[in-house]
Amino acid sequence: MSKELLRQAFQNLKDSVGEQITGYAYLTRGDGTGTLIADQTNRLAFYWQAAADGTPIPGTAILHPRSGIIFKNSIDYETVYVKLGKIQDDNTIYILGEQLGGGNNSGGATSLEQEIKAAGQSKLPIAVTADQNQPSLVVYIEAHTFDVGGTIYHFPKTAVDLSASLPGSANKMCFAGIFIQNDYATIEIQTSTPRLITDLPLGLADVQEIVTAATSTDAPVFAVKLVNGQATISQDDLNNDGWPLQQYVSLSNAGASLTVEDGTTTITNVTKVKFTSGATVTNTGGGEADVAISGGGTTVAARAHTVAGQSIAGSYAGTVINFDVVDFDTGSDITTGASWKFTASVAGYYRVSVAAYSNWNASDDDYLHLAKNGTTWAVLEYFGTSFTNNAQKFLKGTSTVYLGIGDYIQIVMYNCCGGTSLKTDANSTYVDIELVAQ
Q: What is the pLDDT of residues 367-398, one digit of tens each?
A: 889 999 999 999 888 776 555 555 567 888 89
- Tell me what percent of the residues of the chain surpass a pLDDT of 70: 65
Among residues 33, 32, 62, which one has the least CA distance to residue 45? 62
Residue 55 has pLDDT above 70, yes or no: no
Q: How far is CA 87 from CA 7, 40, 159, in A?
A: 20, 21, 38
- Compute the distance between CA of residue 340 and CA of residue 300 in angstroms, rounded to an integer: 18
CB contact at 8 A, 224 and 175: yes
- Compute the distance between CA of residue 335 and CA of residue 312 in angstroms, rounded to an integer: 19
- Compute the distance between CA of residue 284 and CA of residue 367 in angstroms, rounded to an integer: 47
Q: What's the pLDDT score for residue 31? A: 55
The CATH architecture of the domain made up of 301-437 is Sandwich (2.60)
User: Using one digit for the tens of pLDDT, what is the confidence trace for 301-349?
Assistant: 999 999 888 888 888 888 999 999 999 999 899 999 999 999 999 999 9
User: Using one digit for the tens of pLDDT, what is the confidence trace for 64-120?
Assistant: 766 655 555 555 566 677 788 887 777 788 777 766 554 433 333 333 334 334 333
Residue 432 has pLDDT above 90, yes or no: yes
Domain locations along the chain? 18-121, 128-251, 257-294, 301-437
- Compute the distance between CA of residue 341 and CA of residue 171 in angstroms, rounded to an integer: 67
Among residues 432, 433, 431, which one has the least CA distance to residue 403? 433
At a CB cut-off of 8 Å and minimum separation 6, what does 368 contact?
354, 356, 379, 380, 381, 382, 395, 396, 397, 411, 412, 413
